[in-house]
Amino acid sequence: MTRFAAPIAEQIWDMKYRFKEAGGAPLDLIVEDSWRRVARALASVEADATMWEDKFYHALEDFKFLPAGRILAGAGTERSVTLFNCFVMGTVPDTMGGIFDMLKEAALTMQQGGGIGYDFSTIRPKGAGVSGVAADASGPLSFMDVWDSMCRTIMSAGSRRGAMMATMRCDHPDIEDFISAKQDAARLRMFNLSVLITDPFMDAVKADGPWELTFSGKVYHTVQARDLWNKIMKGTYDYAEPGVIFIDRINAMNNLAYCETIAATNPCGEQPLPPYGACLLGSINLARLVDQPFEDEAHLDIEKLSDLVATAVRMMDNVVDASRFPLEAQAREAQAKRRIGLGVTGLADALLMVGQRYGSDEAAATCEAWLKAIARASYLASTELAREKGAFPLFDADKYLASGSLEAMDQDVRDAIATHGIRNALLTSIAPTGTISLYAGNVSSGIEPVFAYAYTRKVLQKDGTRTEEEVVDYAVKLYRDKFGADAVLPDHFVNAQTLAPLDHVRMQAAAQKWVDSSISKTINCPVDISFDDFKEVYMAAWDTGCKGCTTYRPNDVTGSVLTVSEASEDTPDTDEGADVVYLSEPLDRPQTLEGATYKVKWPDSEHAIYITINDTVHGGHRRPFEIFINSKNMEHFAWTVALTRMISAVFRRGGDVSFVVEELKAVFDPRGGAWMQGKYIPSILAAIGGVIERHLIETGFIAGEGMGLKTDPQAQVVSMGDKPRGKACPSCGQYDLRMVEGCMTCGSCGHSKCG
């Protein structure tokens, strides 16, 4: 019997976490091999490795504890990879040499796949004087452009995509330019942006008072605080950025406030970190811990939860010693504080199982109780580890216990810390869990509500055909297994399509009370929410104690989230795929062919490229037969002729030739791509691939966008009409993109913008 609750779970395991040889042959034959590999690797530092390996294995078994993807994929493989998910880089010096030293460190970290965060508030504003060179400063945004180009270059080299977070203080003189930077669709696409909001600023907003923009003690401008707040709100209302981080609250509540100052977070915001700070992540699957689900006696087994948390803390603490780090400074910082980020997934499913409506007062109270139980168990487990192995090196009992987040902790936990110390300075965090939630059987992600109860997913088979399978939420499947496939879902089954924004805030605030780091959560807002109601979401997040706020309202720049069919609130809209015709021999060319010609004008190129695609009809289906690529630019002549002949030969062989599109769109020019009509195209070959794909869609050969880019290139059609399409997943091509926990995430394959 397979341990996987759904076919998509096994596919995610095979694609992302299964250990394979360089040639692709699997070394983990079954998922139990993956669990054993990870358990053995993390137990190797223990005195009784055999005993702990067995206990670690049972924590992983049946997806109860879900280490982050890097640990699942990398532990025990002997590969030179970091097991840490996220980093905040060093403080950026306000000197040219220091800035580019930081750029090098960022590149080395991203090369290993780490997401990074930077505070750019330390760079002098645009127009400020630069001593010794008789010039004015270009400002922090100009250097952010350099980081953005570096990230694209690292990505083009074939490395796993890393995400970046840029923060800027609300009192920096360039803050207004920062707020509007990504409203230019051609700028800073590799960054997430967040404004560091201070307590005095929020006081000034509420009082409608003035606000000074300063740098190095000099006041550059004075604005009205509420006007600046409204600019931030309007930016995220219209463009989904910037986010908001309540930085003074983060520092006040930090267990380590006595020895560090935080000014940035990792890309998804759940880890506020000091310079060179790093954190590893893992999640307790609450959906697996509910006894008697959907019965009157349904409850979360707190004893099982506490035991599982204790084991998970030990496993994650061992990762600190087992992992490699891109930079020595990151290794020193991790060893000095031994931060871990233990969170949850499946919260919404667990609430459904115990009969509570996500977003209700009752569910918020339950969420708070469950997160408190996890916090207690985490801290007690870490004190036991400290008694056995020693406290983290920078531990100071009096200062640690005086920190903001420890004030509310139960006295028995405080006493244990005072007596034995604590192994890990911070322990809890709620991270994005989109992919590992799919791997665990499509449980609800993090503390998010269920997005959709079921949807249809198209799966590309090895022979080129596509099959359809239903992907059902874990709790919904459990309910229907128990009460019948046609059972009507109870009223408390709510999802993200119908949830009010303030219900999201209520759940985030309830969880934040017992999370010592932060929470990655997206508050989905309807497109027709009024601007005043939208602003109220952020003010409610501030008033209820959240450490930050991220919303998502569908817009023209980032697109809209996956929509659910009106005919069935369970199943999203899907496209009907076109039949694929397989040919055993190349076809002879008919006397006449029907085709279309497209014009692509590559920026900075003197001459346009004209692409003609001619089709044949075979077995009642129109399919591509040949392609011609022409340009007056003679530098293009050799490669366009070669490309013409190769692609035409592929077309004439038949089958599912859409892979040509996928291959071309995956080509990145190391010199950088170009922005065409507001969309980034990584190379001229990718632009050609996008045109071919568009033609295949127009002629009905494929149903929609294929693999490769986040968006299609824009080409001027000379002889065919234009039919606009929505956005597709850049990894699998399906129309299942949604904003989850700050990341644009595909429900079909688990791909996410933030990696």
The CA distances from residue 736 to 128, 352, 740, in Å, are 46, 23, 12
User: Per the residue annotation, which of 86, 268, 549, 746 is the catalytic one?
Assistant: 268
Burial label, 649 (beta-carbon count in 10 A; 0-12, 13-18, 19+): exposed
Active-site annotation holds for 266: yes
Active-site annotation holds for 318: no
Active-site annotation holds for 270: yes
CA-based nearest residue to 553, from 112, 136, 134, 239? 239
CA-based nearest residue to 545, from 511, 500, 501? 511
Residues pairing with 430 in the sheet: 519
End-to-end CA distance of the chain: 31
Q: Which residues contact 113 (CB under 8 A, 6 or more apart)?
A: 70, 81, 82, 159, 160, 162, 755
Yes or no: say if 660 and 692 are a contact pair by the CB < 8 Å rule: yes
- What length is written for the chain? 755
The CA distances from residue 393 to 330, 335, 398, 401, in Å, are 15, 8, 15, 16
Give the residue ranges of DSSP H helices in 47-111.
49-60, 69-74, 96-111
**Can you give the three-state secondary structure of 332-343, one letter per residue?**
HHHHHHCCCEEE
Distance from C-alpha of 704 to C-alpha of 474, rounded to nearest angstrom: 28
Q: Which residues contact 603 (CB under 8 A, 6 or more apart)?
A: 674, 675, 676
Burial label, 229 (beta-carbon count in 10 A; 0-12, 13-18, 19+): buried
DSSP-based three-state secondary structure for 700: coil
Per-residue burial over 1-34, b if 16 or more Cβ lie within 10 Å, else e, is: eeebbbebbbbbbeebbbbeeeeeeeebeebeeb
Distance from C-alpha of 645 to C-alpha of 270, rounded to nearest angstrom: 50
User: Per the residue annotation, which of 270, 333, 448, 698 is the catalytic one?
Assistant: 270
Which single residue is written with the structure tokens 């840490």?
Answer: 84
Q: Which two tokens stand for residue 404?
A: 């903001």
Distance from C-alpha of 370 to C-alpha of 395, rounded to nearest angstrom: 27
User: Per the residue annotation, which of 255, 266, 495, 614 is the catalytic one?
Assistant: 266
- Note the Cα 587 to chain centre separation in Å: 45
Q: Which two tokens stand for residue 149?
A: 């180009």
Q: Which two tokens stand for residue 473?
A: 């939420």
Which sequence positions are flagged as catalytic? 266, 268, 270
